[in-house]
Structure 1
Amino acid sequence: MTRRHERRDLPSLSSAQRERIRRSRETLADGGLLTEPPGRSGVPQLIERSWRRCAGDEVPAAPDRIAYQEPDDVDPAFVRAAEPVLDRLRDSFAEVPVAMVLSDANGRIVRRHVGVRQQRTIMDRASAAEGFDFSERSIGTNGIGTVLVERRPVLVRGPEHYNLGLEGLTCAGTPIVEPFTGRVVGSFSLACATRDVHPLMQVMAGDIARQIEDGLLEEAGDRRRRLVRAYLAIDRASAGALVVDEDTVLANRAGLVHTGPEVHPVLWEFLGEHGPTRPRRMQVPLAGGMRDAVVEPVDRGARPAFGIRLTPRPSRPADRSGGEGRGSRAGSRAAPEPLHVSPEVDRLLDDVVRHRETVAISGTGGRVGKAADRPSGTGRAGRR
C-alpha cells in the first residue's frame, strides 16, 4: 500500500523516492535506451519520455556550460502581454521563495523574477536566469524545455531533472499558446527549492499562463484592428490592394488573385529584407510574377506590416509582341506551354520560374533531366 507522502501526484518527494529516482535516471543515462524497457523507471511517463529523449540526444547530465544569448530580440507583443501580469504579481511573490520564469518558444529564459535572496542565489547557481537556454536539448528534462516539447503542463521534481545541477529545484511549468494561430510561443513556470514546494504550484502556474494568453488575445485583436484600418486606407476599387504581416494577408478582390498560401512566405521574406521605411515604388513577388507596386510600412511601433498598392499595367495591343509569359515563343498559341505533364508539378514550377528561384532535380542516376528523355519538340532548356 502506497503511503500518503509517497503518492506520485504530490509535488514533494520522500528521501527514499528521491534516491530511487536518482538511481533510475543514472541507469538510463549511463546504460542507454536499451538498459530497460519503457515503463520500468518508476517515474511518470512524461518524465521517462523526456529522459529517453535526452539519452537518445546524448544531452550531458552535467554540462560544462549552458548556451547564453541576450534576450533582446523577444517578440514585442509577447513581452507586452506578459509584463503587466508579472508586474501585478511581484508584490504577492516578494516574500515567497518562488521564482517566476518566462521563456520564449526556444526555451530561452527571457524574464525572471524572484524576490527572496536565498532563492535567487539557488537560481543563479543553476544558471536559471535571463538569457540562458533551458531547452530540453540544452539542459535535459526541466519545467521549461520539456513543457515546450510536450506542449502541456509539466511538474519536474528534484532528481526528475536530467541535469544534476537542477536536482535541488522543483519546477511547475505550462505552455503559453498564441490565440488564433495555436502556436506555442513560450512557457511560464514557477520554480522553488524542493523543501519549499507547494501543492498549488501547478494550478498557479497554469492560471498565470492563461492571464498572459489573455494579454496575447488582446494584442492580437488590437493588431488585427490596426491591419484592417491600414487596409481600408489603401483599398482602391480600380487596383489591387494588400496588407501583409508575418501571419496575415488582407486583400481586395483585385489583389486577391495575386496572393495565396504559396506566395505569402515568399512575399513576406522579400518584405522582411527589402521592405521600405517610407512609401516607395518597387517590384514585389506575387502570383503573377514580379509586379510594380507602391509599398509602405504600416502598424509602426508594433509587429512589422506593409501595405501594397499594385500599379496598373499599361495595356498592349493584342498579339503584337507575339504573346507574353510562358507562351511567348509559341507565336499564335493562346494557351501557355506546360512545364510538366503533371498539373500540380507544372503549377509549382511556374511559381519557381516567376519568382526566379532554384529547382533541385533528383532521381535515378544516368538520365535525370536529360532533354533526350523528352518527346520531340517539348524540350525547353534555356527558355527563360
Structure 2
Amino acid sequence: MHDAAVAGETPPAPPRPVIGASWSRMLSRGVDPERGGTARPLRADQLAERRRASPLAEVLPLLRGRLGDVAEQTANIMVITDADGHVLWRDGSSAVRRNADALGFVEGMSWGEDAVGTNAIGTALVTGLPVQVYSAEHYVRSHHAWTCASAPMRDPRTGRLLGAVDLSGPAATVSPTTLALVQTVAQLAESQLHTSHLAALEALRGSAVPILARVSGPAVVTDPHGWVAASSGTAPVGHVALPAECGAGRAWLPSLGDCAVEPVPGGWLVRLLDEDPDAALDERTRVRLDLRSSQARVEVSSASGDWSHPLSPRHAELLFLLAVHPGGRTAAQLAADVFGDERRTVTVRAEMSRLRRNLGGLLSRRPYRFGDTVEVAVLRPDDPAALLPHSTARAVRG
C-alpha cells in the first residue's frame, strides 16, 4: 500500500482514513518518502526558551510519572512536543533513545508532518485527535521499523493546542492498549492544568472582591484570559471575550457592550459603561516606581482605585530600564543592559514573563514597554549611589 501510494499509484487496498489523508498531504507537499522534509533542530537557547514558555512544563512530573516507567519497561521512549511538533522532553529506554538519535528524533527537532512525514505526533497535531501509527503507515521509509502513539493536549483556559505526548518504540512493541493509555494520560494532564487554573482564579478572587467594593456601577474582574473571578452589579458570567491584544482603555466587548478596561494585579477590571454612555472615562493609569528604599514597589493608581506590588531586585531593575526607555526595549537590549550580553534573552524573557503575571495589564511586548495609556514616574533616592544598590548593570550604574 505504501509503495503504491508514494509512487502515485492506486494501492491494492485503501489505508485507514487518517493515514490516507496524511499520505495525501505529504504527496501534495512533495515530502520525500526516503528522507522526509528539511528541518533544523532548535538551538540550545531556543529549546530552553520553549521549555520555559510551555504550560506543559507544569504537568511534566505527571507525564513522566505515568508514562516514564511504562516507556522504560516496554522498550519505548516518551516524548513531549510543543504545538509545532518540536521535541521538548524525551525519556525512556536508553537503547531506544540511541536508535532515535540516528533518526534525528531528539530534543529540539521538529516532528511535524512537514518535517518527517506521517507520524503519530505530527498527524495528531494536524488532526487534533489521538493517533497510533504503525510501521509502513509512516510516510518516510526509515521510520517503518517504529510504532508510535500520540495524543494532543490543549490549554483548558483558551482551547489553544499546547503540544502532544507520545510513546514510540520498535514496531515489535506495538500494543492496541498503548493509544488508550497515552490518551488517558493526556486527559489527566489537561485536568491538572484545569485545576491549576481554578486555583489561580480563586487566588484572584481574594483580591478582586475589595477592588469591586470600591467601584460604583456594574463591573467584573477577570484573569488575563477573560475568565471571571468576581463580579458586582451584573448578571453572573463565566468568561469575557477580551481583545487579543488587550490594553487599558475603552473597549466594546461581546455580551457586555461598552466597557472601561483597567489593569489589576493578576488580571483586568472591566467596568460596564452602557448605563451611562456619556460618562467621562479617565483612560490613564498612573504608575509610581518607588526605588527609595531597599524594598522597591510599584504603586498603581487608576479610576477604580489604588494598589501596589512589591518588586524583587531583578524586577525593579527591569522596570527601571523600561521607565527610562519609554520607546521600549527588546529582549536582546535588556539582556545587554542587565548582563552586558545580548545573547542572554532566555533569562530576560523568563523574568519578564514572571513580571507580567502580576503586572501584565501595565506592560506591552514587541518590544517590552509600559502600555500607551500608562503614565510612569520614578521615585529615586536622594543619594544617586543608593539607586538599586544591588545592581551591577552599566545601564543602571552609568
User: Are residue 44 (structure 1) and residue 97 (structure 2) matched?
Assistant: no
User: Are residue 195 (structure 1) and residue 248 (structure 2) matched?
Assistant: no
8 A Cα contact 2:6 2:27, kept in partner: no
8 A Cα contact 1:230 1:243, kept in partner: no
- How far has the Cα of 1:97 moved from its partner? 0.6
Secondary structure of residue in 1 paired with 2:32: coil
Summarize the Cα distance change of 1:233–1:109 in structure 2 as closer, same or farther, 3 Å threshold. Answer: farther
Q: Which amino acid aligns with 2:178?
A: M
Q: What do the CA deviations read for 1:195-247 (whole angstroms, capped 9, x no partner)? A: 22223211221222122122212222122223323423533433677554145
Q: What do the CA deviations read for 1:267-286 (whole angstroms, capped 9, x no partner)? A: 2599xxxxxxx99xxxxxx9
Q: Which amino acid aligns with 1:79?
A: A
Q: What do the CA deviations read for 1:55-109 (whole angstroms, capped 9, x no partner)? A: 2222333147533221532445321123233135434443431111111222111
TM-score by length of structure 2 reads 0.56
Q: What are the residue-to-residue correspondences of 1:163-178 with 2, within 5 Å?
A: 163-178=140-155
The match for 2:28 among 53, 56, 78 is 56
TM-score by length of structure 1 reads 0.58
8 A Cα contact 1:103 1:111, kept in partner: yes
Bigger radius of gyration: 1
Distance 1:268 1:67 in 2: 36
Where does structure 1 lack aligned partners over 5 or more consecutive residues? 1-20, 29-34, 271-277, 280-285, 310-354, 357-384
Q: What do the CA deviations read for 1:278-329 (whole angstroms, capped 9, x no partner)? A: 99xxxxxx9998811255779x9598354769xxxxxxxxxxxxxxxxxxxx
Q: Which amino acid aligns with 1:293?
A: T
Partner of 1:120: 97
Secondary structure of residue in 2 paired with 1:266: coil
Partner of 1:267: 246
The match for 1:132 among 88, 109, 130 is 109
Q: Which amino acid aligns with 2:138?
A: H
Summarize the Cα distance change of 1:106–1:308 in structure 2 as closer, same or farther, 3 Å threshold. Answer: closer
- How far has the Cα of 1:253 moved from its partner? 5.7
Distance 1:232 1:253 in 2: 9
Partner of 2:198: 221
The match for 2:357 among 299, 304, 311 is 304
Secondary structure of residue in 2 paired with 1:174: strand
8 A Cα contact 1:159 1:167, kept in partner: yes
Q: What are the residue-to-residue correspondences of 1:1-384 with 2, within 5 Å?
A: 21-28=1-8, 36=10, 42-61=14-33, 62-63=35-36, 65-69=38-42, 70-74=47-51, 75-115=53-93, 117-238=94-215, 242-248=221-227, 264-267=243-246, 291-294=283-286, 304-306=357-359
Summarize the Cα distance change of 1:155–1:269 in structure 2 as closer, same or farther, 3 Å threshold. Answer: farther
Distance 1:160 1:88 in 2: 27
Distance 2:40 2:177 in 1: 31
Aligned residues between the structures: 267
8 A Cα contact 2:150 2:167, kept in partner: yes
Summarize the Cα distance change of 1:104–1:297 in structure 2 as closer, same or farther, 3 Å threshold. Answer: farther
Summarize the Cα distance change of 1:241–1:151 in structure 2 as closer, same or farther, 3 Å threshold. Answer: closer
Report which of the two has the higher share of strand.
2
8 A Cα contact 1:77 1:303, kept in partner: no
Secondary structure of residue in 2 paired with 1:186: strand
Q: Which amino acid aligns with 1:59?
A: V
8 A Cα contact 2:2 2:139, kept in partner: no
Q: CA RMSD in A?
A: 4.0
- How far has the Cα of 1:156 moved from its partner? 0.9
Summarize the Cα distance change of 1:302–1:148 in structure 2 as closer, same or farther, 3 Å threshold. Answer: farther
Distance 1:111 1:50 in 2: 25
Distance 2:60 2:183 in 1: 14
8 A Cα contact 1:50 1:141, kept in partner: yes
